[in-house]
């Protein structure tokens, strides 16, 4: 996508700007290349600097507590690509650039399938006392080899993709370097559903390797916030060759669940704050005694079963892609990505929600924070 706009805050006859990115996906820690193309205005202009900002959209537009500038946009890196030069009247000038992405740049696609995470480049041109920002130009980020190996192993073991969200918080005890972290929410296969309803995973790469953070049902309140048994950390090399990743990821999950279950059992009678008599480890606070572990709090309505979410109000309907959203299978987690999106679309239709997306993509036709 190419944006083109008149620098309105500078006035009529000002230069125009096109920012063009090279095609194809990039990787965390890798180069993002392109050109800033300037068209001179009706007079000579002294360009003080051209700045590129890397921007992420955090959460849904208008979501409570979302970080950013009013449109849920957060700048996570920036760089000056040119400064202090004259753009003659009517002249064409192209400024090539190469930005190195931060190692913890979020992943936006897996095997070519979008994950619903939006990243973009925003160009700022400073002329004299005026400054103007362009629209956002989206770019795609694919996983590093170690990240892809872990995700593929999870898919082969039957974990399905539920969501990939950017969380504007700190992840305690980790090597997080960004103002947010990317969380992958995964649906477990049947052999784990009696122990966990959702697995949360975060990658925190750095130049030496990739830190993997695993959490289980962290929003369910099974353990107090920050309890060490609620999190498992592993550090991987960048080269994934020569390792049995399926066995490794299952080993991580087993250790995480065993540690969590042991911590829960330490509470009197196997109970913990938020649980009620008749409940047992593996159940979530808010569930009713007698419900199956792996069910969601607020279930209990007629026709609901484990794997359904509160508020759905009717049994999950089967159809193309639904099964792969629950268990991605040997086709890999990419099948879960596609299936999960199909499920979300189907459920929107079942609930009668006819609302259109309020803000798709980055090109909103307005000024994203320009002065």
Query: Domain residue spans in the chain?
Result: 3-138, 145-350
Angle at 63 between CA 62 and CA 69, to 5 degrees: 55
Asked whether 74 and 53 are in contact (CB, 8 A), the reply is no
31-40 pLDDT per residue, tens: 999 999 999 9
245-292 pLDDT per residue, tens: 999 999 999 999 998 888 777 754 555 444 444 454 445 544 554 454
41-80 pLDDT per residue, tens: 999 999 999 999 999 999 743 344 444 444 689 999 999 9
Region of poorest pLDDT, from 31-45, 93-107, 133-147, 353-367: 353-367
CATH number of 3-138: 2.60.40.640
**Residue 126: is its pLDDT beyond 80?**
yes
Residue 128's pLDDT band (boundaries 50, 70, 90)?
A: confident
Which residues are registered as beta bridge partners of 133?
Answer: 124
Which spans in 96-203 are helix H? 145-156
> When comparing pLDDT for 114 and 231, which is higher?
114
Averaged pLDDT for residues 129-153: 89
Averaged pLDDT for residues 331-348: 49
Q: Whole-number mean pLDDT of the chain?
A: 75
Indicate the SS3 state at residue 2. Answer: coil
Cα separation, 115 vs 155, in Å, equals 15
């Amino acid at each position: 996508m190419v944006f083109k706009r008149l620098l309105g805050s500078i006035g009529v006859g000002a230069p125009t700007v096109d920012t063009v990115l090279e095609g194809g996906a990039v990787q965390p820690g890798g180069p993002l290349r392109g050109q800033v193309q300037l068209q001179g205005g009706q007079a000579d202009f002294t360009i003080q600097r051209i700045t590129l900002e890397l921007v992420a959209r955090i959460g849904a537009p208008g979501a409570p507590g979302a970080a950013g500038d009013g449109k849920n946009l957060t700048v996570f890196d920036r760089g000056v690509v040119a400064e202090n030069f004259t753009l003659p009247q009517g002249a064409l000038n192209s400024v090539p650039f190469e930005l190195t992405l931060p190692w913890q740049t979020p992943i936006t696609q897996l095997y070519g399938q979008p994950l619903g995470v939006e990243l973009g480049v925003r160009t700022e041109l400073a002329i004299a006392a005026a400054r103007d920002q362009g629209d956002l130009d989206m770019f795609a980020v694919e996983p590093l080899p170690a990240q892809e190996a872990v995700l593929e192993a999870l898919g082969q073991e039957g974990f399905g993709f539920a969501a990939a969200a950017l969380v504007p918080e700190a992840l305690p005890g980790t090597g997080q370097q960004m103002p947010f972290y990317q969380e992958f929410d995964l649906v477990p296969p049947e052999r784990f559903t009696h122990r966990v309803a959702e697995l949360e995973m975060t990658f925190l790469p750095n130049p030496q390797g990739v830190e993997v953070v695993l959490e289980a049902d962290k929003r369910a309140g099974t353990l107090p916030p920050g309890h060490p048994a609620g999190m498992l950390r592993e550090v991987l090399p960048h080269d994934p060759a020569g390792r049995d990743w399926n066995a490794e990821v299952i080993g991580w999950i087993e250790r995480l669940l065993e540690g969590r279950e042991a911590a829960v059992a330490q509470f009197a009678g196997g109970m913990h704050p938020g649980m009620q008599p008749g409940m047992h480890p593996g159940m979530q606070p808010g569930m009713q005694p007698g419900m199956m572990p792996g069910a969601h709090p607020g279930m209990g309505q007629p026709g609901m079963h484990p794997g359904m979410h509160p508020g759905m109000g009717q049994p999950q309907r089967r159809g193309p892609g639904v099964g792969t959203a629950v268990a991605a299978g040997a086709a890999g987690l990419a099948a879960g990505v596609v299936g999960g999106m199909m499920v979300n679309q189907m459920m929107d239709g079942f609930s009668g929600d006819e609302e259109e997306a309020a803000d798709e993509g980055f090109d909103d036709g307005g000024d994203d924070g320009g002065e």
